[in-house]
Chains A and B, each alone.
Chain A
Amino acid sequence: MAIQTILVINKSGGLVYKKEFLNGGHRLTSNEYLVLAGTLQGVIAIAGQLTPKALQITKNSGIKDVTDQETLVAYAGPLGILESQDMGSFMLPDYFTESFKSWNTSGLKHITTDQLSLFVFQSLTGVKLVAISTQNSISNVAVSIAENLLRKVYCLYADYVMKNPFHEAEMPIKCTLFDKKVAEMVSRL
């Protein structure tokens, strides 16, 4: 899975961080990325509204649906983590080693097209992390791997962006350490 782009979208739908990893190929202008972030924010809101009636009925009648258990994301191993690596304020061997709950239950998660797939990770505070990969696999394994990766990026965000006194909330992220760490992690994939 080659990651093409990683984006961070704040809770009001603005693009606060974008990084491209692949050289060459088609490039979007920064303006187009801003539009993309805004559109994704809108689609995430709409996708929740579109829940099929069949699911709403099973939910109201209290029947445990299969999808309720599916919100647990399996731990996918030490992706992009080296032993004896500087982990910031996290302890080795990895940022987390257990499966975790996905906060994104009804919103948009994964889009596939003929060439790419796009993964969305949502945090409880409304920050959305987006990864665009050049593999158009539809499998649920790819989704869980992407969610693992994005959760690690979120750990980096918590470490190097939130603990930066010069960073203003909801403003574009300009932290070299965060930049460097994300690039390192993606290059090891």
Chain B
Amino acid sequence: MAIYSFWIFDRHCNCIFDREWTLKAKQSSGVVNSKQNEDTAKLLFGMIFSLKSICRKLGNEDVSNEIRTIATGKYRVHVLTTASGLWLVLLTDVQQKNVSEVLHHLYGEIYVPSVAENWLSPIDFAEKEEEKMGQGFRKIQNRYFLRAVEQYLSPMVSR
């Protein structure tokens, strides 16, 4: 199992967190909340968004038909969508089958306590009206959150 990157998108189509590991051998390698990843984040968001709208049409309309994974020849994208419009996206290698528990842990045990229940952290990362149309730049900078994500995901990077 290898994890390549982890992304969070909010309901305003903004990427509010990204972490990319670049070297499998070194768990601390890579970038956090990087400006260079802005374009990649937009592409990733667009890919998931368009596939989501396809899948919504394809399935039975009575039951929800949310997208779970997208696999390519080289990597696999796992998506967890919450009702509040938050997307947690994890890129892993193709061998990796089910990481929905990992995503649920990241949301329930890390994001909710350190960001949603933190009075000092903004709940909505778009402060102005013009940041709500996918133009936002604010990221999760919360130290506790960053450390918890690192502690939880790093052991899986090269496993």
Which positions in A face B, CB cutoff 8 Å?
Answer: 25-26, 28, 32, 36, 39-40, 42-43, 46-55, 57-58, 66-67, 70-71, 102, 104-116, 118, 132, 136, 138-140, 143
- Contact partner of A143 (CB less than 8 A), chosen from B21, B68, B71, is B71
B58 within 8 A of A: yes
Which A residues are in CB contact (< 8 Å) with B128? none
CB–CB B50/A39 < 8 A:
yes
| Given contact pairs A46-B47, A52-B91, A70-B94, A113 touches B74 in the complex (Cβ within 8 A) | no
Given contacts A50-B75, A107-B72, A114-B65, 7 further A-B contacts (CB under 8 A): A25-B60, A47-B70, A50-B44, A57-B22, A57-B23, A67-B94, A140-B94
Could you name 11 residue pairs across A and B whose Cβ atoms are closer than 8 Å?
A: A25-B60, A26-B61, A28-B57, A43-B51, A47-B72, A50-B44, A54-B4, A55-B74, A70-B94, A108-B71, A113-B58
Q: Enumerate the 4 nearest inter-chain pairs by beta-carbon distance, A residue then B residue, closest first.
A: A52-B4, A110-B71, A105-B73, A113-B55
| Given contact pairs A50-B43, A53-B22, A54-B21, A107 touches B73 in the complex (Cβ within 8 A) | yes
The residues in B between 53 and 68 inclusive whose CB is less than 8 angstroms from any CB of A are 53-55, 57-61, 63-68
CB–CB B65/A115 < 8 A:
yes
- Contact partner of A113 (CB less than 8 A), chosen from B4, B68, B95, is B68
**Bound: A71/B23 CA distance, A:** 23
Task: Tell me the minimal C-beta distance from B51 to chain A in angstroms.
Answer: 6
**Bound: A116/B68 CA distance, A:** 10
**Bound: A184/B47 CA distance, A:** 34
Task: Tell me the minimal C-beta distance from B1 to chain A in angstroms.
Answer: 11
Which A residues are in CB contact (< 8 Å) with B65? 113-116
The residues in B between 11 and 41 inclusive whose CB is less than 8 angstroms from any CB of A are 20-24, 30, 40
Closest to A42 in B: B50
CB–CB A114/B72 < 8 A:
no
Which B residues are in CB contact (< 8 Å) with A138? 68-69, 97-98
Interface of A is mostly: mixed
Which B residues are in CB contact (< 8 Å) with A49? 43
| Given contact pairs A42-B50, A52-B5, A111-B69, A132 touches B93 in the complex (Cβ within 8 A) | no
CB–CB B21/A111 < 8 A:
no
CB–CB B40/A36 < 8 A:
no
Which B residues are in CB contact (< 8 Å) with A109? 71-73
**Bound: A54/B23 CA distance, A:** 6
B2 within 8 A of A: yes
**Bound: A26/B54 CA distance, A:** 13
Closest to A122 in B: B73
Which B residues are in CB contact (< 8 Å) with A50? 40, 43-44, 47, 72, 75
CB–CB A113/B59 < 8 A:
yes
The residues in B between 75 and 89 inclusive whose CB is less than 8 angstroms from any CB of A are 75
Task: Tell me the minimal C-beta distance from B48 to chain A in angstroms.
Answer: 9
**Bound: A94/B91 CA distance, A:** 37
Closest to A57 in B: B22
B155 within 8 A of A: no
CB–CB B75/A32 < 8 A:
no
